[in-house]
Amino acid sequence: MNKAILAIAAAGLLASACASDGYGYNTNNEATRQGVIGAGVGAVAGAIIGNNVGDGNAGRGAAIGAVVGGVAGAVRGSSQDRANQNRRYDSARGAYYYCYPEGDCYWEDGRRR
């Protein structure tokens, strides 16, 4: 049980390194951040529940919890990322574009404005 929790904690720390952008371009990526947090919480909860069931499958419960928690966190974070965007309309071009709080703007097709 202790080895499983230590392995899960180590995996969470390694995954959290992916949540940051060393170049500073993508500092508000909530989908990644919340996905990592969800995976960590789900893994711990799954390990505890799997151990309490008594079938000795805390590792399997941790894996299932990590997947479910990670997906749930990523979906919630993605929704928050979309809410953080500011959608505007360019009447001259007749198209919508999005601007992030940092000042970066992109057309709907993903090209930089």
Domain that holds residue 59: 2-84
104, 27 in Cβ contact below 8 A?
no
Of 30 and 101, the one with more pLDDT: 30
What's the longest Cα–Cα distance across the chain? Answer: 66
| pTM of the complete model | 0.54
What is the number of domains present in the chain? Answer: 1
Beta-carbon-side half-sphere exposure of residue 85 (alpha carbons within 13 Å):
18
**pLDDT of 22:** 46
Residues in the chain: 113
β-pair partners for 88: 97
What SS3 class is residue 92? coil
Q: What digits encode the pLDDT tens for the residues 35-91?
A: 889 988 888 888 888 777 666 666 778 888 888 888 898 888 888 777 666 678 888
103 in a domain, yes or no?
A: no
109 in a domain, yes or no?
A: no
13 in a domain, yes or no?
A: yes
102 in a domain, yes or no?
A: no
